[in-house]
Amino acid sequence: MPIHIAEATRKALCNVLGVSRLIEVMEHDFQDISPNADVDRDKAALYADRNRDSVRLTAGRYYTAREYAAHVRKIRSLELP
């Protein structure tokens, strides 16, 4: 199903995205966003000042998917009294 966008909106999007045609965005190869993909801490730190939602994310106080899995394995391996 085609997406219909007003011409003014199309021009504004192209200007903001820095492309001449929107089809260029559709054909672009983007980063994997599957659950198996992990967070790049360096890239997250680079954009931390733009994040105004979470103090934890801005301060870098979060687990990546791999760190969280390791943490869960560690907790599950503990013997309870």
- Average pLDDT of span 16-40: 73
DSSP string, the chain: -PPP--HHHHHHHHHHHT-SSTHHHHTS-PPP-STT----HHHHHHTGGG--S-HHHHHT----HHHHHHHHHHHHHSPP-
**Higher pLDDT, residue 81 or 51:** 81
pTM strictly above 0.85: no
Query: Looking at residue 58, what is its pLDDT?
Result: 77
**Higher pLDDT, residue 77 or 37:** 77
Query: Looking at residue 31, what is its pLDDT?
Result: 64
